[in-house]
Structure 1
């Protein structure tokens, strides 16, 4: 073991194996699914990205509960994740042996209708430098810049709810990716308001240690005094914890994390955990132990997802276990308005109830978590609750982040709606014509 913990068992020294639409029938457990179910997976996976791996298959999915198992739903597309008209159109083309050109044209048409870049990612978040647009970066909030390393724009497995599904479908004009680390450094030097660089994707932890170093070490060596934090957004602790334990370059990854802290920068791993089961295996606990030994802080986040984690008890269990393992609960998000949102949606009123009930039953150490939060075009909007004011039932909301920093922590009110699940479903309360940020 790298940092002095228990030894690694042979079972934990797995070699990574991926399954996609081309080979998923090689999964032994798939034999128990009906022919109709297989057909539905294949039709849905033509539109939505599909990738799973042997760790998820063998350690996380309860095959006795398929198709209702939450981890199965998290990784295997199903017909209800497509709108009925989209599913029937694709099914008709495939059953009638349409040409591949016709199939691909319809796939592209459907994908473009699914709001592939929500919250102004493509139109408003892309920065400029020396009069040129910088592809592969996003700068929405003053203090944080997102960098999409080109080789990290995949994942160990794909989440069916993923709001960045457009990164994985092969349509380059929809994809964020950059190899220009020198351009990032130059941009940071000219923007001292930036305190955090967030390496994101996809999942940067799919890259080798050598590649990841080529992105992170130049930033450290540039000695940008205004830069305080290096973040990496990742699902690897859930989908491939071997990355930090038994992969051939695990030690190099952990050494890189240590190097960040030795350069007096805070190293934060923004870990995505969607269900308590992802925290249950011995190897994920070893991975967390190894990461924390480098001085890295693990902060945890997840959307609230129908069919997967829309029960207060699951969040209570998840936050409590994260704290026990030394992680910091950070965000509960609302599902973004893209992709299969209609399937995974939880109304705002219900989301607030789930958050409140779970929050009431955890230690104060877990109450670092914020939410439910919507990552909208104007910013991250937190749902603070439901109130009745002057005989009008309203949502109380506030900005946790804003395109304009003066909006942060500014409360505002919206008319109550039992079905609203996103900002554009809301109307201003108390007879106002528009919200203050419009």
Structure 2
């Protein structure tokens, strides 16, 4: 797969769109937020004739809305001045402000964050085939290894499993574990199959959608595609549950024939493909898009799993939506789905410091409307399944912008001290 970055990406944008101004915008933004656009995305997914408004262009290509106007102007002006030292200072300052990496941020390659679940970041070739503009996993792309996660081998993984017999679920993640060669992936999988306590293996990947040739042996495919599929088959044959967790953001990502062939080959191994994606402004903030996406996924044998909430801070400011709008998109998409052809996907989910919180809708209580929050997963086992109410705020975008409705709701929602007026009933 050919990959376009830096000046090559800017030339690609100018050639495909016929708009040099868009190439200039990409060059400026790309100094702060490096991008990679693969040939599959360039040839099969992006509608260059509709740029910059095409949903997949906005998702996969750097555009000026990713920076605040003043920040864009600062980088642009410094570029014109030609002072590389000054440019480095401006870019580093913007990166720090957009993603500050607070002290204490967990950068371990093997992380035990939820009871029973182990997250593992393999230590070889984890480069995502197509990092999205909305993705929060930007640090490894900046070229500063101090900001990226540490790398861990199979030995660190098995050592953690030996110390924690309660772990039954292992998630291989990072930028993309399936960018590894089949033999490298097997170095992680084989120890898991030799560990009886591990019953479920999940692999987070974008390769299914953005590098389908990874699973194909035809022209342009991967030399070890069959070996990779045999690794997946071994997991299923061993009686373990295997899921590939795929971010699928727009129904057009499923249209290319190579993608559909890749999906069919993966499902033939017995593995499941579960999908999730955030609601993103100007990309998929339309209930009809989600209803179509769920129907088409289900028809192909994929399992729609979660609708996510985009925090919409930092470089992602242009994608975020108020929680009230996301909840409305979810409710209308559920209504539009064709019964029997698409499942009901649970309420939008926020991945917070507390854990995974679902917004189950809006209800009317004694003192007005309120969001219903439910802890799907929590780092504190005592909070798993807990329900809380937050005062309805049409402008709030994230859980830490919400106000608790009652004193018991503080377990899920940060906020100021409550008064007697906050108590329901």
| Shared fold (TM-score, shorter chain, > 0.5) | yes
Q: Give the structure 2 partner of residue 382 of structure 1.
A: 358
1:116 and 1:339 in contact (8 A); partners too: no
Please state how far the C-alpha of 1:309 moved relative to its aligned partner.
Answer: 0.5
Mapped partners of 2:126, 2:314: distance in 1: 18
Aligned twin of 1:359 = 334
Stretches of structure 2 lacking an aligned partner (at least 5 in a row): 415-425
Name the structure 1 match of 2:31. Answer: 46
Tell me the equivalent position of 1:402.
378
Q: Which has the higher contact order (CA 8 A, sep 6+)?
A: 1
Q: Partner residue of 2:121?
A: 148
Alpha-carbon shift at residue 29 of structure 1 (Å): 6.3
User: Could you tell me the TM-score, scaled by structure 1's length?
Assistant: 0.88
Segment drifting more, 364-373 vs 403-412: 364-373
Instruction: Decide whether the 8 Å contact of 2:17 with 2:51 is kept in 1.
Output: no
Which secondary structure does the structure 2 equivalent of 1:27 belong to? helix
- Post-superposition Cα deviations, 1:75-94, rounded to whole Å, max 9, x if no partner, equal 11111111223212211211
What is the aligned partner in structure 2 of residue 412 from structure 1?
A: 388
Q: Tell me if structure 1 keeps the 8 A contact 2:40–2:211.
A: yes
Counterpart of 1:422 in structure 2 is 398
The structure 2 residue matched to 1:76, chosen from 48, 56, 61, is 61
Matched, 1:180 2:180: no
Aligned match for 1:200, one of 157, 170, 173: 173
String of CA shifts for 1:324-380, please: whole Å, max 9, x gaps: 111111111111355422110011000001011111232356335333100011011
Rounded Cα–Cα distance in structure 2 between residues aligned with 1:86 and 1:26: 23
RMSD (Å), alpha carbons: 1.9
Range moving further from structure 2, 29-38 or 41-50: 29-38
SS at 1:308 equivalent: coil
Q: Answer yes or no: is the 8 Å Cα contact 1:40–1:78 preserved in 2.
A: yes
Match of 2:136 in 1: 163
Counterpart of 1:332 in structure 2 is 307
Equivalent of residue 283 in structure 1, options 238, 258, 272: 258
In the alignment, structure 1 residue 236 sits paired with structure 2 residue 198: no
- Structure 1 unmatched runs, 5+: 1-15, 127-134
Distance in 1 separating the partners of 2:16 and 2:245: 36
SS at match of 2:244: strand
Cα shift at 1:56? 0.8
CA separation of 1:31 and 1:385: change in aligned 2, threshold 3 A = closer
1:89 counterpart residue number: 74
Checking the alignment, whether the CA contact within 8 Å between 1:384 and 1:395 is kept in structure 2 is yes
Provide the aligned length of Structure 1 versus Structure 2: 408
Instruction: Compute the displacement of 1:40 (Å).
Output: 1.1
Could you say what secondary structure the match of 2:198 adopts? Answer: coil
Q: How big is the shift at 1:397?
A: 0.8
Counterpart for residue 43 of structure 2: 58
Q: Please tell me whether the aligned partners of residues 328 and 368 of structure 1 are also in contact (alpha carbons under 8 angstroms).
A: no
How far does the alpha carbon of each residue in 1:172-216 deviate from its partner, in whole angstroms, 9 at most, with x for none?
121114242111101012112222111111111112212212222
> Do the aligned residues in 2 keep the contact of 1:228 with 1:265 (CA within 8 Å)?
yes
Determine the structure 2 residue equivalent to 1:301. 276
- The answer on whether the counterparts of 1:25 and 1:31 sit within 8 Å (CA) in structure 2 is no
- CA deviation after TM superposition for structure 1 residue 64, in Å: 1.8
Matching of residue 253 in structure 1 with residue 237 in structure 2: no
Kindly indicate whether residue 164 of structure 2 is the aligned counterpart of residue 191 of structure 1.
Answer: yes
What residue is the counterpart of 1:8 in the other structure? none
Distance 1:137 1:108, change over 3 A: farther
CA distance in 2, matches of 1:116, 1:370: 31
CA distance in 1, matches of 2:310, 2:152: 30
Deviation at 1:261? 1.3
* 3-state SS of paired residue (2:91): helix
**Partner of residue 93 from structure 2, selected from 101, 109, 114:** 109
Structure-2 separation of matches of 1:124 and 1:139? 14
Equivalents in 1 of 2:307, 2:175: separation in Å? 20
Deviation, structure 1 residue 30 = 2.6
Q: 2:189 maps to which residue?
A: 216
1:372 aligns with 348
**Alignment partners' CA distance in 1, 2:100 and 2:35:** 16
Post-superposition offset of 1:116: 5.2
Q: Give the equivalent residue in structure 2 for 1:11.
A: none
Change (3 A) 1:63 1:378: same
